[in-house]
């Protein structure tokens, strides 16, 4: 696919001027690059690919224990129901969490769009809004965890059915919640730096798109968890 010939003559002969890791990188890449996108973006994509395998393995493990247990699997529709207005609304908390996360994905997309137009203040403001929705999501997850723990759900057993339910629930949603928490911190750090003009001086707003990739990935993982863990 690569149609762009990079001028190789501009680079110093590998090995003469540089040493150590720089030299190793120069030798291995031979001053060529496979992906003609910003370096940080390619690296974030590769990190997200590795994360895809982590969550893929979690969900596959969940499938394995759920398919191999002889005990009845707890009915998630009822387990995650909330008592609102005198009636049990099935799975309502999870539905609200899903909508909160999608909303945050939308505001993140807007922030990236603002960053392309170098609208610094709006991009940072939208990133803080995104982080706020992320924090709201984590808060609801903490509520959900407390509720289940009070109902007696443990990693090794629960009163509703198959003991594997607890271990997979805490493992998968816990790891996802950790990702959301890290994302909130990441967003807050980058948005603060953006406001202070750090990226103005560096000359590139690319970092906003990179944070955006991470945040959309967190939403993407939730799509799969929602479908396989809560709805299945």
Partner 1 sequence: MAATNLTQAAPGRPSPAQASQPAQEQAHQEHPIGLYLKVWGLLFLLSAMSYAVDYFHVQGLLRWGLIVTLMLAKAGLIVAVFMHMAWERLALVCAILLPPLALLVLVGLMASEAGHTFLARLVMFP
Q: For the CB of residue 207, give the shortest distance to partner 1 in the complex, in Å.
A: 8
118 or 154: CB nearest partner 1: 118
Tell me if 144 contacts partner 1 by CB under 8 A. no
Report the SS3 class of residue 41. Answer: helix
Tell me if 196 contacts partner 1 by CB under 8 A. no
Q: For the CB of residue 100, give the shortest distance to partner 1 in the complex, in Å.
A: 11
Q: Taking a C-beta distance cutoff of 8 angstroms, is the pair 136, 103 a contact? A: no
Give dist(CA 174, CA 187) in Å, integer: 20
Give dist(CA 129, CA 139) in Å, integer: 15
Q: Which among 205, 222, 218, 217 is positioned nearest to 112, based on CA atoms?
A: 205
126 or 184: CB nearest partner 1: 126
Tell me if 90 contacts partner 1 by CB under 8 A. yes
Look at the block and give the residue holding tokens 């990935």. 217
Tell me if 231 contacts partner 1 by CB under 8 A. yes
Tell me if 132 contacts partner 1 by CB under 8 A. no
Tell me if 35 contacts partner 1 by CB under 8 A. yes
Site size for partner 1 (CB under 8 A)? 77
Q: For the CB of residue 137, give the shortest distance to partner 1 in the complex, in Å.
A: 14
Give dist(CA 102, CA 188) in Å, integer: 19
List C-alpha distances in Å: 172 to 118, 122, 193. Answer: 37, 34, 32
Q: For the CB of residue 87, give the shortest distance to partner 1 in the complex, in Å.
A: 13
Look at the block and give the residue holding tokens 């603060």. 192
Q: Considering only residues 69, 155, 171, 175, which one is a binding residue for partner 1 as defined by CB under 8 A?
A: 69
Q: Taking a C-beta distance cutoff of 8 angstroms, is the pair 152, 184 a contact? A: no
Q: Considering only residues 17, 25, 72, 178, which one is a binding residue for partner 1 as defined by CB under 8 A?
A: 25
């Amino acid at each position: 696919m690569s149609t762009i010939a990079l001028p190789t003559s501009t680079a110093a002969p590998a090995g003469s001027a540089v040493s150590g890791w720089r030299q190793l990188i120069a030798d291995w890449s031979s001053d060529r690059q496979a992906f003609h996108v910003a370096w940080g973006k390619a690296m974030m994509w590769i990190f997200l690919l590795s994360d895809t395998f982590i969550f893929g393995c979690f969900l596959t493990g969940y499938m394995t224990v759920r398919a191999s247990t002889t005990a009845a699997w707890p009915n998630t529709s009822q387990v995650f129901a909330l008592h609102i207005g005198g009636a049990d609304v099935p799975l309502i908390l999870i539905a609200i969490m899903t909508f909160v996360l999608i909303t945050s994905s939308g505001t993140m997309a807007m922030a990236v769009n603002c960053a392309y137009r170098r609208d610094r203040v709006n991009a940072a403001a939208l990133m803080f809004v995104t982080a706020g929705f992320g924090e709201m999501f984590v808060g609801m997850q903490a509520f959900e965890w407390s509720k289940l723990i009070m109902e007696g759900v443990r990693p090794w057993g629960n009163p509703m059915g198959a003991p594997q339910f607890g271990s997979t629930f805490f493992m998968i949603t816990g790891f996802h919640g950790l990702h959301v928490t890290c994302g909130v911190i990441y967003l807050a750090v980058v948005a603060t730096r953006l406001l202070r003009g750090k990226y103005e001086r560096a000359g590139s707003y690319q970092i906003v798109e990179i944070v955006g990739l991470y945040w959309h990935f967190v939403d993407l993982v939730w799509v799969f968890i929602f479908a396989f863990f809560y709805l299945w």
